[in-house]
Structure 1
Amino acid sequence: MLSCCDSPESGPTQLALTTTPALLASHNAAVLQKGEAAGKKPNILIIWGDDIGQFNVSAYNLGMMGFKTPNIDRIAREGALFTDWYGQQSCTAGRAAFITGQSPIRTGLTKVGLPGAPEGMKPEDPTIATLLRARGYVTGQFGKNHLGDRDDMLPTKHGFDEFFGNLYHL
């Protein structure tokens, strides 16, 4: 998913989590608080990429490499361009840490799981989607999930209003 959201004036505010190769972009807490103080919640779009080097996005490489990502560059110019980050040892651990706000060791999602495995999101795991839904957001996740494929582990059981994607690698 490359775009998502209704404007605050025209309908519900939305969160879309997409797991296509790109950079992570969202509003920071100060922007969120400012929007809420004015009675408008900002739309939030998070683009999560796997196996992307910092310089694979032209907003970061400043023309020093051949990659051109003009749409992502525009998001960086108009939203946020992050300069500090850390990564987990696997795509599953990174996704679990971001979505739950917990260290992957707490959720048990430290490595890539296998289809049908008992490891996955648990009912007690908080998620960004659940927290934002309580604030009036409509949420969606699109792309690779990797957080369990049993019914109780699906994104729609953990606060996401909509999910369209893969539960594991293709």
Structure 2
Amino acid sequence: MLMAEAGKPNILVLWGDDIGWYNISHNNRGAMGYQTPNIDRIAGEGIEFTDFYAQQSCTAGRAAFITGQNPLRTGLTKVGIPGADLGLQAEDPTIAELLKPHGYVTGQFGKNHLGDKDEFLPSNHGFDEFYGNLYHLNAEDEPEHPDYPKDPSFRERFGPRGVIHSFPDGRITD
């Protein structure tokens, strides 16, 4: 486990799609009928951010948070698809790149949704490690859906890549 240097806080961001601020029991005090005790504990021991802007899609929201820019500036305003040329650009600063000079080790785990090609992977934008998925939650199930195109060349060209583990040195495992 990595510990923060003296005086330097650990930074942990929990991100979820389609979840409202009020859905966390720390914020609703149990009014929603369920508890999120681990998230509540983390929130109680840390700093809670309560002022924010939500974007219209998961891609736009992630782009805004990771770069600190309006999604219109990054071009990441709508959900990307497998094989698309659209993704996080080299000139877009990321929170990981900005934390590096301050001695932080960074990782992104879970859904990325900021581009399909290797050049768009978080590990190519300042993150020391990425382990996750490039698309929405059930993307790996889609090829098994009865209505998914059966032509193997379609899946090869447009199919989801699956879970990826990548590092800044270019190592990638699918």
Using structure 2 for the length normalisation, give the TM-score.
0.75
Deviation per CA, 1:13-68, whole angstroms, max 9, x where unpaired? Answer: xxxxxxxxxxxxxxxxxxxxxxxxxx532111111111012222101111212110
Deviation per CA, 1:79-117, whole angstroms, max 9, x where unpaired? Answer: 123333220010000000000011001110000011111
Letter in 1 for 2:131: F
What's the counterpart of residue 103 of structure 2? 136
- Percent of aligned positions that are identical: 70
Is residue 155 from structure 1 mapped to residue 126 from structure 2 by the alignment? Answer: no
Aligned length: 137
What's the counterpart of residue 171 of structure 2? none
Deviation at 1:71, TM superposition (A): 0.7
What's the counterpart of residue 79 of structure 1? 46
Distance in 1 (alpha carbons) for counterparts of 2:92 and 2:51: 26
Match of 1:164 among 97, 110, 131: 131
What's the counterpart of residue 80 of structure 2? 113
Is residue 7 from structure 1 mapped to residue 3 from structure 2 by the alignment? Answer: yes
- Over aligned residue pairs, what C-alpha RMSD do you find? 1.3
Give runs of aligned pairs for residues 6-155 of structure 1, distance below 5 A.
6-8=2-4, 40-155=7-122
Distance in 2 (alpha carbons) for counterparts of 1:59 and 1:89: 24
What's the counterpart of residue 23 of structure 1? none
**Aligned with 2:102: secondary structure?**
coil
Deviation at 1:76, TM superposition (A): 1.3
In our comparison, the structure showing a higher alpha carbon Rg is 2
Letter in 1 for 2:98: L
Deviation per CA, 1:116-145, whole angstroms, max 9, x where unpaired? Answer: 111101111100000101211111000000
Letter in 1 for 2:124: K
Distance in 2 (alpha carbons) for counterparts of 1:8 and 1:145: 25
What's the counterpart of residue 158 of structure 2? none
**Aligned with 1:133: secondary structure?**
helix
Instruction: Give 5+ residue unaligned stretches, structure 1.
Output: 10-38
Letter in 1 for 2:119: D
Letter in 2 for 1:129: A
Using structure 1 for the length normalisation, give the TM-score.
0.76
